[in-house]
Chain A
Amino acid sequence: MATAEVEKQRGRYAALSIAAMVIAVGIPLWWKTTETYRAWLPYSQISELDSMNLQLSVEVEVVFSRGTLTPEQQKKIPLTQAREQEHQVHANTRLKYRYETKYRTATVMEEDALGQPTAQEADLALHRLSESPCGSVVVYVIPESSALLAEGVRVYVGQRRTALLRGQSGMAGGLKEVLGALGPQIEQVVQTMSFSHSDITAALSDRVRGSRLSRDGLADSMRAFKSSPGYEITFSLLNPDPKSHRLQWDIEGAVRSYIQPLLDKLAPVANFSVDSQILYYAVLGVNPRFDNGVSAYTLSADSLAHVINPVEARLGSNAASSNPVLNFLLYVPDAQHSPLFIRNHNKHTVPTNAFHSPRWGGIMVYNVNDHYGPDAQFPVTINIDMARVMGVFLAQLRLMLGVQQTRPPPGFALQSPGSAGLTDWELDRLLWSRSVENIATASTTITSLAQLLDQIGNIVINDNIAQQVYSAVTSLQAAVAELEAGNLAFALQYSREAILASERAFFDPSLLHLLYFPDDQKFAIYIPLFLPMCVPILLSLLNMAGELKQRRSEQRAKRD
């Protein structure tokens, strides 16, 4: 019996040592040999980005011209004053607006400039004196009696970053009251010229889902193209009837005169490339209905969505780049279906005869039937009035690029953008919302990438992906810091870099590879080896544990 006990003991030791070997050598070896290479990612910084704290700083300069302040008040002017607003947009998104207001009195030269006969000239003269940096706002307070502003106009916003504000007379009280009275007006000016809370929340719409946004802001943000490092603008002339119409369009000159100034102005936002083509026999997808009332063919607004499908197939994507394409189509209806008018939802004819589709582009119908009589010799050569066409396309382009229509508060006079197509402060507005949007998009991309990599344990993370993630994170941090410091131009640049790097990392081909088997398949391969090896070990360990228990209870029984 003693030998049997010894033998049993030996079996137990053997089983234990085999189990120890498997745990100490086998499992680490298996772990090591099946390990995938995963470069280290800055997870903590990414999770910091996830809870976004954005601070937007605007520099506002308030300049009092002669006659708006009494000498005592002038002496007491505070140099700077900062005002902060905080908004909790979402559980992990907080916005803080910081307005740094500087007060000073006008210099002699500025006084001269303000002495110009009209506001427009004064604006230009002030611009010549000094150029204010991107993102800042200068408000000149002029006496109430000034003839610069028309009757009933309180505020004039110029083409640059300056505004003229009509002061109130009888500011006899203390400086505090004067500033207090000016405060709300200046705030209105700043919101018009730099950003308002609704713009910024609209820019954050990707991040903040289901938040309460104003309808207009959302419509604007959905109509405009997503922020991208570049855009391809394509003008296409659709001539479905080359047998009757020989169309001439001077697109080269028109782009040079109308589109290029706007694009030059927008150069900091993105790179643009413009091209044009003529497509023959391109027909619309719906047959327009003949309306006897106006003796013309009409397209209703509901059918517009179907108009574009057959044309779209021929437009072609840009072969040379992967940037989004903005399409602007000029459709000249064929001789049998002229004239053609578009009707809106209220059954009224649209005066421009043009419509646009969000994030796609616009189409304009150009009727040529009044260029020739009924007995004309076909084909008729027709020269297209590019000024009319480009007016519409320019307006559509502004919409697509997200230059928001500002609805000025009452009493505001806005100077029209002039030949550049865009005023400086409109550009600033665009830059503010684009920077915020870029930061939001890039941080969402990086966060979801980090989540994905976290979820799939056996995906390989190469060094170049880690590098892209790193550069995206540093650019993001830099962009946030620049926004905080009020350097709008740098903020936009960093945010663009961040978006590029994050997209490159997210869409890296190595991250989507069929070589990553799911776990169940991997275990299907391992099971034939693992199961027969592990089951005896487990069983004998269980057996031993059972015996141990039994012996203990026996011992306890004996003791009792």
Chain B
Amino acid sequence: MAAYRYGPVLLLGFVALVSHFVSASTPNNLEDIREEPKSTDGTDSVLPERTDTRESNEFTPRQDGSAASPEALESGSRWAATEVDLDTVPLSGEKATGNLRDEAAEAFDSLRHQRYNDQFQEELVIRPLHSGDIYSSFQFRTRWDTDFFQKGKKVADYRLFPKSLGQVITKFSVRELHISFTQGFWRTMQWGQPFLSAPPGAELWVWFQDTVTDVDGAWKELTNVLSGIFCASLNFIDSTNTVQPSASFKPLGVGNVTNHKFLRYAVLPREIVCTENLTPWKKLLPCGSKTGLAVLLKSEKLFHSSFHSQAVHIRPVCQDWKCTSTAWELRQTLSVVFDLYTSGQSRREWSLFKMFSRTLTEACPLASSSKIYVDVTDNSQGELFELSPVSPILSQAVVLGDRRTYSVYDLMTPDTFGTLRSLNIQLRWKMMDVAEGLRPLLHGERYVAGYGLQTGEIHTLVYNNHPYRAFPVLLLDSVPWYLRLYVHTLTVTSKNRENKPSYIHYQPSKDRLRPHLLEMLIQLPPNSVTEVTVQFERALLKWTEYPPDPNHGFYAGSSVISGLVPSIVAMDTNSTQEGPLFSSFFPCKEESTYFVRVYTEPLLVNLPTPDFSMPYNVICLTCTVVAVGYGSLYNLLTRTFQVEEPGPGLAKRLANVIRRIRGVPLL
């Protein structure tokens, strides 16, 4: 009877324990039930190309080929020689053939005189940094004098321009596309300005043609296609991290549409860049990584560095000076900073072989120019480092507002490779401690302040290091919705005084729909630090919205600071350099400013994170409590109660024992 009475409660505890274990392992039986939608089309040897897997209707029907018996399969699926009776079947009558031959001959004749309408250039810039690190920047430029959006004619014949990107441009009516993948953070204060800056992670911004009606749909599909092309997680770009900046990102190519309705900008700060992103990037090059400068791009060296950034920029450019027709430019850039201590074994000695474990033997035969530039501006007398082999060609260019001198190696001339038929540029520092270089004029920093898991404050510091000139910058901040900004707390201070932005564009977030967008035009006083602070509250997410490692924290993308910075050339008025007097009275006008874009660090913010086994624990606990309550109630309701004669008390029993010993009759 006792076992029956307490049975439910005991059983309950046991069951709760067992079911806890059952649910801990979560098998997905469902996947077995659906047949795998995989094509077995008989050509097993053919490696499938990685395509994006966003749309499941891309799979070929699952019934393919599974019907045949093995012998039939063999006969049907084998590579077979094509038998063509060349005389009768294809040549479609003598007339057509004759025509075509004539046409082809004509085309050939004209081709011989006229150059191709596409050209390819490659170059590598090596800049020794004052920290002892070395900065190498590759640029590959393919220019195609064609119009993707010509009416009535589809561009379908690709020579140097990669077909996949061409198809993307035509399908989605893209006017401009800029995508970058970056691993590591560019240290502006140590390294100066990069040629092309990029935020850590993946950044994508696209201008669509004004003929696109459903921009959001095109953007969604485009990100999916690009994630397939570049093997990246760009498919995680959705409306919650996409913004439409109103002023910060203007088109870089020709065209007059500046309505930011057609612009989309997204950053994935968490994206890890590695070999699988480099391989498809290299595949876009006409020569692949077989010849030319691209042989240096070996992933085991490139990713053993403190900064790696690769990018693809597509934009329309002018064909000629008159700009009557547009050409398309594809610029593939790759920048890498090799660390003095990890890659250079702290010896101040660099060579192509040491950096890339390769030397150069030839230029890409398809390239119309192939050059290596080494920055020797601070080394005019060879006092800083020694460069070998020495190139006789020097070239001067104004880069980022500074006049730089470069030593040029032209790979198209065979003399460059010397007698060894191989070029290995070496760079040996002479001085061990190099004086600090000029501080970059514009610099940004960002951090989160505050304590606890409820509120916080974002601080963005913008430095203007120019000694006497103020200049305006545009600050763009895109903050995810789960950091709820309190815009009334926005303060901008410089030199301890309030600095009122002359233009503010703020788009509040919507939960789970879109992020905050904050754009400001701030005037930076000379030689100052401007601090922008805004407070925020951390939202509590739904339990399915947390990523697999929620305690790592949540990223908020870098702020973008873009502005026209006064150039150093114009700053140089104290004429320490020897120069004609007539040239140095008024600051020179034409090179007085240059455009620069600076990215701050991305933020890593902790959000309140629950214990994820909690829902199940809650279920178990509640069920147990309910079951205990219910069990006792049930017992009370259904049990039969009887009055039982109470047994003799303890005192009486004791007395009886004593009485028995004494032999006295019991009570």
A residues with CB within 8 A of B: 4, 7-8, 10-12, 14-15, 18, 205-206, 208-210, 213, 215, 218-219, 221-223, 226, 234, 242-243, 248, 250-254, 257-258, 261, 273-278, 280-281, 301, 304-306, 308-309, 312-322, 324, 342, 344, 350-352, 354-360, 362, 364, 379, 381, 383, 385-388, 390-392, 394-396, 399, 416-419, 421, 441, 444-445, 448, 452, 455-456, 503-504, 507-509, 512, 514, 516, 518, 520-521, 524-525, 527-529, 531-533, 535-537, 539-540
Can you name 11 A-B pairs with beta carbons within 8 Å?
A206-B67, A208-B67, A222-B65, A242-B287, A258-B92, A313-B49, A319-B168, A355-B79, A355-B82, A358-B80, A444-B63
Is B86's CB under 8 angstroms from A352's CB?
Answer: yes
Beta-carbon nearest neighbor of B283 in chain A? A314
Q: Which residues of A contact B66 (CB under 8 A)?
A: 209
Is B57's CB under 8 angstroms from A441's CB?
Answer: no
Is B101 in contact with chain A by the CB < 8 A criterion? yes
Is B508 in contact with chain A by the CB < 8 A criterion? no
Shortest distance in angstroms between A399's beta carbon and chain B's nearest beta carbon?
8
Is B619's CB under 8 angstroms from A528's CB?
Answer: yes
Q: Which residues of A contact B19 (CB under 8 A)?
A: 524-525, 527-528
Is A416's CB under 8 angstroms from B34's CB?
Answer: no
- Cβ-defined partner of A280 (8 Å) among B11, B33, B288: B288
Is B170 in contact with chain A by the CB < 8 A criterion? yes
Q: Which residues of B contact A258 (CB under 8 A)?
A: 90, 92, 96, 100
Looking at B159-167, B388-396, B438-446, the stretch in contact with chain A turns out to be B159-167
Beta-carbon nearest neighbor of A512 in chain B? B34
Is B630's CB under 8 angstroms from A532's CB?
Answer: yes
From known contacts A11-B640, A503-B61, infer whether A350 and B77 are also in contact, taking CB-CB under 8 Å.
Answer: no
Beta-carbon nearest neighbor of A252 in chain B? B157
Looking at B68-76, B312-320, B512-520, B578-586, the stretch in contact with chain A turns out to be B68-76
Considering only residues 598-632 of chain B, those with a C-beta below 8 Å from chain A are 616, 619-620, 623-624, 626-628, 630-631
Is B619's CB under 8 angstroms from A525's CB?
Answer: yes
Beta-carbon nearest neighbor of A222 in chain B? B76
Is B7's CB under 8 angstroms from A276's CB?
Answer: no
Shortest distance in angstroms between B372's beta carbon and chain A's nearest beta carbon?
20
Is B254 in contact with chain A by the CB < 8 A criterion? no
Is B637's CB under 8 angstroms from A215's CB?
Answer: no
Is B365's CB under 8 angstroms from A242's CB?
Answer: yes
Q: Which residues of A contact B159 (CB under 8 A)?
A: 277-278
Beta-carbon nearest neighbor of A235 in chain B? B157
How long is the Cα–Cα vector from A306 to B286 in the complex, in angstroms? 24
From known contacts A322-B57, A383-B104, A394-B90, infer whether A536 and B81 are also in contact, taking CB-CB under 8 Å.
Answer: no
Shortest distance in angstroms between B507's beta carbon and chain A's nearest beta carbon?
30
B residues with CB within 8 A of A: 4, 7-9, 11-12, 15-16, 18-19, 22-23, 26-31, 33-35, 37, 41-43, 45-47, 49, 51, 55-61, 63-69, 72-73, 75-84, 86, 88-93, 96-97, 99-101, 103-105, 107-108, 111-112, 154, 156-160, 162-165, 167-168, 170-171, 225, 228-229, 283, 286-288, 290-291, 365-366, 616, 619-620, 623-624, 626-628, 630-631, 634-635, 637-642
Give me 15 other A-B pairs in contact (C-beta within 8 A), A226-B61, A305-B45, A518-B28 excluded: A15-B637, A18-B634, A18-B638, A251-B157, A257-B99, A352-B83, A356-B82, A360-B43, A387-B91, A418-B93, A419-B93, A421-B90, A503-B57, A532-B8, A539-B4
Is B638's CB under 8 angstroms from A15's CB?
Answer: yes
Report how many A-B pairs have Cβ atoms within 8 Å.
Answer: 327
Is B627's CB under 8 angstroms from A275's CB?
Answer: no
Is A531's CB under 8 angstroms from B75's CB?
Answer: no
Q: Which residues of A contact B23 (CB under 8 A)?
A: 521, 524-525
From known contacts A305-B79, A309-B46, A531-B15, infer whether A253 and B626 are also in contact, taking CB-CB under 8 Å.
Answer: no
Q: Which residues of A contact B34 (CB under 8 A)?
A: 452, 512
Is A532's CB under 8 angstroms from B171's CB?
Answer: no
Is A350's CB under 8 angstroms from B81's CB?
Answer: yes
Shortest distance in angstroms between A29's beta carbon and chain B's nearest beta carbon?
15
- Cβ-defined partner of A215 (8 Å) among B67, B75, B154, B626: B75
Is B107's CB under 8 angstroms from A250's CB?
Answer: yes
How long is the Cα–Cα vector from A351 to B30 in the complex, in angstroms? 52
From known contacts A355-B82, A524-B23, infer whether A11 and B638 are also in contact, taking CB-CB under 8 Å.
Answer: yes
Shortest distance in angstroms between B263's beta carbon and chain A's nearest beta carbon?
22
Q: Which residues of A contact B7 (CB under 8 A)?
A: 535, 539
How long is the Cα–Cα vector from A308 to B33 in the complex, in angstroms? 34
Q: Which residues of B contact A276 (CB under 8 A)?
A: 156-158
Shortest distance in angstroms between B456's beta carbon and chain A's nearest beta carbon?
33
From known contacts A277-B158, A320-B170, infer whether A507 and B111 are also in contact, taking CB-CB under 8 Å.
Answer: no
Shortest distance in angstroms between B621's beta carbon and chain A's nearest beta carbon?
9
Q: Which residues of B contact A280 (CB under 8 A)?
A: 286-288, 290, 366
Q: Which residues of B contact A8 (CB under 8 A)?
A: 640
Q: Which residues of A contact B637 (CB under 8 A)?
A: 11, 14-15, 18
How long is the Cα–Cα vector from A533 to B631 in the complex, in angstroms? 7
Is B33's CB under 8 angstroms from A456's CB?
Answer: yes
Is B76's CB under 8 angstroms from A219's CB?
Answer: yes
Is B81's CB under 8 angstroms from A352's CB?
Answer: yes
Dominant SS among interface residues on chain A: helix
Shortest distance in angstroms between A267's beta carbon and chain B's nearest beta carbon?
16
From known contacts A350-B81, A444-B63, A512-B56, infer whether A379 and B638 are also in contact, taking CB-CB under 8 Å.
Answer: no
From known contacts A222-B77, A242-B365, A419-B93, infer whether A507 and B8 are also in contact, taking CB-CB under 8 Å.
Answer: no
Is A275's CB under 8 angstroms from B156's CB?
Answer: yes
How long is the Cα–Cα vector from A529 to B366 in the complex, in angstroms? 74
From known contacts A11-B639, A419-B96, infer whether A452 and B33 are also in contact, taking CB-CB under 8 Å.
Answer: yes
Q: Which residues of A contact B26 (CB under 8 A)?
A: 521
Q: Which residues of A contact B641 (CB under 8 A)?
A: 7
- Cβ-defined partner of B158 (8 Å) among A14, A275, A358: A275
- Cβ-defined partner of A316 (8 Å) among B18, B42, B163: B163
Q: Which residues of A contact B63 (CB under 8 A)?
A: 206, 441, 444-445
6 shortest interchain CB distances as A-B pairs: A222-B76, A391-B90, A532-B627, A320-B171, A528-B623, A275-B156
Q: Which residues of B contact A277 (CB under 8 A)?
A: 157-159, 163
Beta-carbon nearest neighbor of B21 in chain A? A524
How long is the Cα–Cα vector from A100 to B540 in the complex, in angstroms? 74
Q: Which residues of A contact B634 (CB under 8 A)?
A: 18, 536-537
Q: Which residues of A contact B57 (CB under 8 A)?
A: 322, 503-504, 507
Beta-carbon nearest neighbor of B29 in chain A? A518
Is B104's CB under 8 angstroms from A386's CB?
Answer: yes
Shortest distance in angstroms between A233's beta carbon and chain B's nearest beta carbon?
10
Is B46's CB under 8 angstroms from A357's CB?
Answer: yes
How long is the Cα–Cα vector from A120 to B12 in the complex, in angstroms? 91
Shortest distance in angstroms between B11's beta carbon and chain A's nearest beta carbon?
6
From known contacts A275-B157, A308-B46, A386-B100, infer whether A540 and B75 are also in contact, taking CB-CB under 8 Å.
Answer: no
How long is the Cα–Cα vector from A356 to B83 in the complex, in angstroms? 10
Residue among A4, A11, A452 having the largest count of chain B Cβ atoms under 10 Å:
A11
From known contacts A395-B89, A524-B22, infer whether A355 and B45 are also in contact, taking CB-CB under 8 Å.
Answer: no
Shortest distance in angstroms between B6's beta carbon and chain A's nearest beta carbon?
11
- Cβ-defined partner of B287 (8 Å) among A281, A318, A503: A281
Is A319's CB under 8 angstroms from B33's CB?
Answer: no
- Cβ-defined partner of A356 (8 Å) among B60, B69, B79, B623: B79
Shortest distance in angstroms between A1's beta carbon and chain B's nearest beta carbon?
10
Is A529's CB under 8 angstroms from B92's CB?
Answer: no
Q: Which residues of A contact B69 (CB under 8 A)?
A: 210
Shortest distance in angstroms between B274's beta carbon and chain A's nearest beta carbon?
18
Q: Which residues of B contact A254 (CB under 8 A)?
A: 100, 104
From known contacts A276-B157, A358-B42, infer whether A540 and B100 are also in contact, taking CB-CB under 8 Å.
Answer: no
Is B33's CB under 8 angstroms from A379's CB?
Answer: no
Is B92's CB under 8 angstroms from A421's CB?
Answer: yes
- Cβ-defined partner of B45 (8 Å) among A18, A306, A383, A520: A306
How long is the Cα–Cα vector from A280 to B43 in the complex, in angstroms? 24
Q: Which residues of B contact A531 (CB under 8 A)?
A: 11-12, 15
Is A281's CB under 8 angstroms from B30's CB?
Answer: no
How long is the Cα–Cα vector from A444 to B514 in the complex, in angstroms? 42
From known contacts A352-B81, A352-B86, A392-B90, infer whether A226 and B64 are also in contact, taking CB-CB under 8 Å.
Answer: yes
